[in-house]
Chain A
């Protein structure tokens, strides 16, 4: 479970995230949408404990990200934006390093690594160094690393970046399989991708939450308007952009 209460993040005079609140339940996949620079990654970085909110509170699996960051990190599987890996390391050694950092060892570590390697289909690159992996393989190695410790909460920042269409389809199926008993929150700026996997969609624009609700509700609204969900969301983003621009002009 993730609870975000009135969270704001400021960089000097710039407000990257502005008073955002929501609560994500277990066994649910939630898509996080927004144009580039909307504040998606900043919010995910705060949930992951990498950044500290300027105001507000975030809890992950009941642990406060500022007061109990270690407990949060143990509960969390996080795939950061750009999926940076230790390029010089071999993939298998990289996974062992991550597993050990999560306190795994012995037979349990071996079992979890085997599971992650098979689940993410990275056997062919196990003995390669990370820099020798293709973009898609790097993404899958990052995902395997994020899932090694069997986290209750999975946080993925642009997880399909670099994957080919077939890999995206497989990734969707994989995420659906993981869903039970876990909270999955993933960001993307590709609308169709989020709608294809998520049960709930949160949309952010200029750091502010402009939509939070189930996909079924969006589909209902779209039917009533004789439109489609994508157009409906794009209208919301445009409206939020226009009102923000108007506010800036007035200011």
Chain B
């Protein structure tokens, strides 16, 4: 349990943020001490009636020093800005494939859907040492996904998918907060992030009962929405066979290639004209006003289940 440890660092980024903060604190304290040492010295030395020399200001106190500290302050501000921008830029380009997890926020709970369809509410299980890529949306007002131990936060907006990436580095249980005021029970919109060993996470995910039912739901939708009318191998309409597609490379028109992952399947349902599979006509209608986010998850789970090695992972 890391809850209760006020300043736990549990992501790759956390150490960077804390270092930034430490450096800025040191610079700030130096400025602060400089100013208030001077104030204190002046207040004592030049208190009314003291013997200190008064008279006119030395020549250097007039122009040079003013120009000097103006230039110094400008330089310091620019330096801190440059340094703060450069530090996180070095973190970019994490090589490992990210674990994509969908987050649905609503008044006042967090719904989580893992890649295999496992669902949970107000808890988020994660494997340690694996980059995590959250795809988040809100069903009502603006919320904000905040895990202090990861030093990670992003507002979650209605009708827009926002993304947040981080790499958990520490096993333990951490706070999940909603950081944007969202109404009556805002302060109860909290949860736990449970970072586990990778094997434990894989095991946990497999034993979640929802994964089977999600794919089954998806299968039912696949028929009821009419997808099977074209995509069934026996169909007369010329549409790609979806068996064994998920997780593999798909050849697109124009010679491009794409890996059929969640984002691709989601795009294909909502924006079918975006990536046309080589050799097929762009005849599929968009389902963007037909299916909701949960149904898309179910469809993705079903399509994943058509690729046996993928669904076993």
Is B a genuine binding partner of A?
A: no
